[in-house]
Structure 1
Amino acid sequence: MKITGKTIFEISDCIRSLVRDGDLAPSDSLPPVRDLAEALDVNRNTVAAAYQRLVQAGFAVAQGRLGTSIAYPPTTGEQEGTSLETPLVNLASGNPGARWLPNPVELLASNPPGAFLYGEQTILPSLMELAEEWVKADCPAQRSIELTHGAVDAIERLAAAQLVPGDKVAVEDPCFLGSISALRLAGMKTLGMAVDEAGVLPEALEAAIAGGARAVLLTPRAHNPTGCSLSKRRADALKAILAAHPGVMVIADDHFALLAETPYYSVIPASTQRWALVRSVSKGLGPDLRVAVVACDLETGDRLRTRLASGMTWVSHLLQAIVVAALRSPAVRQLLGDARDDYARRRSFLRTALRAVGIDTPPPAGGFNLWIPLPDDAKDIAYELAKRGWLVRIGNAFEIQDASQALRITVSDLEDEVALRFAQDLKACLA
């Protein structure tokens, strides 16, 4: 393996070729800057800049005093959802109950959008009106409204709009699977912030900002996987911390807004320069309706719009028309209310069943799931449960820094008698 070149581009392109040809593998160390500069007879700054170019492109990882090494290719990691063909009782999917999802074909028929062409408005005026009404009480008045293909797409686009690969983003720990994957694929580094029943701990946020976080991603309600929601007191404490750091971007992922059981408490200070409030419809209307409303500061809105413009990747007007019809429908609003109550009842029933056998869980404030901390290795418990016929999601799929010995149980379709049997089997596995 021989690195050649005299310029920043020649050196970095040579290293990329060596990676492509298999001469350099992930985790292989690159020569120290001084040594390679002497071997190539170039200035050290040239080699340092070549390495930095590789780091920014995701081909290498800078490790401080340990030098620079070849990066592992980005992967999506675990994803939400599981095989529907499993013979096990599926408590791992993270899906809503299909019975509570409105029929998109009927909704589209009730609000046909007509044909749209290049150059027309990318957001339906009717949806823009609804979006403004949905966010106006919860974010600054000077704002832009944009649409993305769901909340995870919004997070990835917001990161790309205001950050660069290698920037640090503070997230809840444990964190939602999709958010972890989106930030990883965007080349960001995640810093975990511990949570309790009221949301992110203030000291964890302070530590993340002190550790170099350029952005903070918070879930104000129905955090996935734990189900916690921010209390007003906690939201105010976090907002006060963020107010002292106006250069840190604040993203509020209010993904469960259509089904939320608790009020929304803003964490976006007036002093924050870059911010976004994201509200998705997929939890209430169905995972295939990839539409999220993004309210954000004006500069961020301009940057989002350049990639969501007519002729590029705007959100389908057919999807927009379905969302408009759903949000205006009294029948759908009733369906959403019934779904919210049903999910809450099923979570409560399972929690009561677990407590009856001596297993305590944090009280969730929303969502489809129940988070069950474990005293033992979650992988071993999940294996024992699988032998008894249960498919569960283990906590390490959601962890950022701290080990999450826990199970996330999706209750959307969990019948009472099945919940009682699961509680007994989990107790037996813990014995």
Structure 2
Amino acid sequence: MDEQIITGATAAEITASVRTLHERGALRPGDALPPVRELAALLGVNRNTAVAAYRLLAQAGVVVARGRAGTVIAGHEAVAQEGYAPDSVLRDIGTGNPDPRLIPDPTTALARATGRPVLYGEPVIDPALEDRALAWVRDDLPGRDLRITVTSGAVDAVERLLAQALLRDDAVALEDPCFLASIHTVRLGGYRAVPVPVDSEGMTVDGLRAALDDGVRAIICTPRAQNPTGATLSPRRAADLRALLAEHPYVLVIEDDHFSMLSQRPYETLIGPEHRRFALVRSVSKFLGPDMCLAIAATDPETAERLALRLSPGTTWVSHLLQRLVLAQLTDGTVLHAIAAAGRHYAERNAAFAAHLTERGLPTEAEDGLNLWVALPVAAKTVAERLVLRGWLARTGDEFVLSERSAPSHHLRLTVHDLTDEETARLIDDLAESTR
């Protein structure tokens, strides 16, 4: 790129020049802009002016700062998505999906979900669902003044929570490896992801401390059944993290408890009794089905007020028919029994598969959640390629990694709870062969 094509004597003028070049195609996604000192010298401006221009461009989403790699024109980078791979003839073992046979039939609940029409200007939350949601979270966040917001799923809740608290280029702490939807949400929002390593007890204390030192303004944490690893916060780790966060009460803590009613592990939290900005998000997609797109967010009052401004009656509220349908199922004893049975089923199937892998020389722990996080003695991409030749489509850990690592991932995330006994035996044999 010819640096002389950028013009301007003020931050606003430099910003306008780069935006114009971008809009006209002279600057394309991935093109590098000159370093700050070099640009300042070329334009004859103060270094701080060039810094301010790049900051404005980053806030507008025009450029992305990549540390030592410099500042480049932003593009629309593809991010891996959950679900079945399109147009594949292979047996997909990386979907992350619940078993459709274990999702309760909503037919009976539909009759209870009907009622008088809801009109513009009425409350956006069904009062009975609000009461049920408060009962669902009150014991997990005792002594807190909680407010309930209903959103179109957990991803919608996280996106709204970040938007009401952050500006573009603000830093967000994410688990590493991380849930694909969280990676996607942070990138689309123009925020800067700061990776926090995860071990078997959840986010590490040293990792979160480093992220706080880096100036993160929000933290997204999965308290149990972390995706992709299945890790769950231990009581000791949760206490250590709360102690660390006690010095940062205004950092927004978002807990995505996506597995909630299916989980076989107790809920532990990062949200201390004095923390000022928080949200506990619980969706119903894992046990009532992904198409039942609804989540509740239990938050502090100020966060709830800000969220309310983004849920205008008649435009962005969640359908009251859907709210009533979810309520009808969550208050049906038969449905609740089926959900509990599904949770035990996922745990038992994953534990049995992990035990078989361990017997075959691939030590694996069945943590919590829909998936298994399988450690491999060789690069995961190599194993995945070998599995393709045997008819399997697996996800490698590379898709979930945030930090810039030179070494490839040595993990596969497998969804195996819905395999037949014959498929299970064949996959275990093929994994053992593919890792040699």
Number of the residue aligned with 1:120:
122
Q: Is the 8 A contact 1:94 1:369 kept in 2?
A: yes
Are 1:216 and 2:223 counterparts?
Answer: no
Q: CA deviation at 1:39?
A: 6.2
Q: 2:209·2:244 contact (CA, 8 Å) conserved in 1? A: yes
1:9 deviates by 3.9
Percent identity over the alignment?
46
- The residue that corresponds to 1:412 in the other structure is 417
Q: 1:358 to 1:32 in 2, by over 3 A?
A: closer
- Equivalent AA in structure 2 for residue 192 of structure 1: P
Superposed displacement of residue 373, structure 1 = 1.1
Q: Is the 8 A contact 2:173 2:211 kept in 1?
A: yes
- Residue identity opposite 1:427 in structure 2: A
Contact 1:123 1:317 in 2 (8 A): yes
Letter of the structure 2 residue corresponding to residue 79 of structure 1: Q
Note if contact 2:360-2:432 (Cα within 8 Å) is conserved in structure 1: yes
* Residue 197 in structure 1 maps to residue 238 in structure 2: no
Cα offset, 1:429, TM superposition: 0.7
Query: Structure 2: which 5+ residue stretches go unaligned?
Result: none
**Residues 1:425 and 2:430 aligned together:** yes
Structure 1 residues 339 and 32, CA, compared in 2 at 3 Å: closer, same or farther? closer
Question: Aligned partners of 1:326 and 1:371: how far apart in 2?
Answer: 31
Deviation at 1:280, TM superposition (A): 0.7
Q: 1:427 to 1:157 in 2, by over 3 A?
A: same
Q: Does 1:180 align with 2:183?
A: yes
User: Distance in 2 between the 1:232 and 1:24 partners?
Assistant: 51
Quote the residue 2:397 is aligned against.
395
Q: 1:262 to 1:35 in 2, by over 3 A?
A: closer
Give the letter aligned to residue 408 of structure 1: R
* Structure 1 residue 57 corresponds to structure 2 residue 60: yes
Q: What does 1:318-397 align with in structure 2 at a 5 Å threshold?
A: 318-364=321-367, 366-397=368-399
- Give the Cα separation in 1 of the matches to 2:111 and 2:423: 38
Listed as ranges, the matches of 1:276-291 within 5 Å are: 276-291=279-294
Distance in 2, Cα, partners of 1:84 & 1:5: 47
Structure 1 residue 387 displacement after superposition: 0.5
**Is the Cα–Cα contact under 8 Å of residues 379 and 409 in structure 2 kept in the other structure?**
no
Report the CA distance between 1:282 and its aligned residue. Answer: 0.5
Between 1:284-293 and 1:147-156, the stretch displaced more is 147-156
Structure 1: distance between partners of 2:397 and 2:35: 39
- 8 A contact 2:66–2:72 mirrored in 1: no
Cα deviation per residue 1:210-258 (whole Å; 9 max; x = unaligned)?
2322222111111111112112122111111111222322111111112
Which position in structure 2 is the counterpart of 1:89?
A: 91
Paired position in structure 2 for 1:104: 106
Calculate the aligned-residue CA RMSD, in Å.
Answer: 2.1
Shift of 1:59: 0.7
> Are residues 1:315 and 2:318 paired?
yes
Q: Structure 1 counterpart of 2:392, which letter?
A: W
CA-CA distance at 1:288 after TM superposition: 1.0
Deviation string, structure 1 residues 323-371 (Cα, Å, up to 9, x no partner): 111101111111101111111111011111111211111331x211111
Q: Tell me how far apart the structure 2 counterparts of residues 342 and 32 of structure 1 sit (CA, whole Å).
A: 56
Write the distance in 1 (CA, Å) between the matches of 2:121 and 2:8. 46
- Name the CA shift for 1:36/1:319 in 2 (closer, same or farther; >3 Å): same
User: Is this contact kept in 1: 2:155–2:185, CA < 8 A?
Assistant: yes
* CA distance, structure 2, for counterparts of residue 275 and residue 79 of structure 1: 27
TM-score by length of 2: 0.92
- The amino acid across from 1:404 in the alignment is S
Q: Tell me how far apart the structure 2 counterparts of residues 353 and 40 of structure 1 sit (CA, whole Å).
A: 65
Worse-matched range after superposition: 120-129 or 44-53: 44-53
Structure 1 residue 416, shift from structure 2 partner? 2.7
Number of residue pairs aligned between Structure 1 and Structure 2: 429
Pick aligned residue for 1:273 from 248, 264, 276: 276
Aligned residue number for residue 260 of structure 1: 263
Does the 8 Å contact 1:76/1:184 carry over to 2? Answer: no
Contact 1:3 1:11 (8 Å CA) reproduced: yes
1:127-186 alpha-carbon deviations (Å, 9 max, x no partner): 101111111112252222111111111111111111222122122111111111111111
Q: Secondary structure at the match of 2:309?
A: helix
Assess, with a 3 A threshold, how the Cα gap between structure 1 residues 35 and 237 changes in structure 2: closer, same or farther: closer
Equivalent-residue separation in structure 1 for 2:176 and 2:43 (angstroms): 44
The aligned amino acid for 2:197 is A
Which residue does 1:78 correspond to in 2? 80
Return closer, same or farther for 1:64/1:347 CA change in 2, 3 Å cut-off: closer
Matched, 1:304 2:284: no
Question: Does the residue aligned with 2:194 lie in a helix, a strand or coil?
Answer: strand
378-387 or 105-114, which deviates more: 105-114
Contact 1:76 1:182 in 2 (8 A): no
Closer, same or farther: CA 133–379 of 1 in aligned 2, 3 Å: same
8 Å Cα contact 2:346-2:370 kept in structure 1: yes
| Corresponding letter in the other structure for 2:249 | P
Kindly provide the amino acid, as one letter, of the partner of residue 382 in structure 2: D
Counterpart contact for 2:220–2:255, Cα < 8 Å: yes
Any gaps of 5 or more consecutive residues in structure 1?
Answer: none
Amino acid at match of 2:159: E
Q: Secondary structure at the match of 1:213?
A: coil
What TM-score do the two structures reach when normalised by structure 1? 0.93
Structure 2 CA distance for aligned equivalents of residues 106 and 274 of structure 1: 39
Retained in 2: the 8 A contact 1:343–1:411? no
SS of the counterpart of 1:335?
helix
Which amino acid counterpart does residue 25 of structure 1 have in structure 2?
R
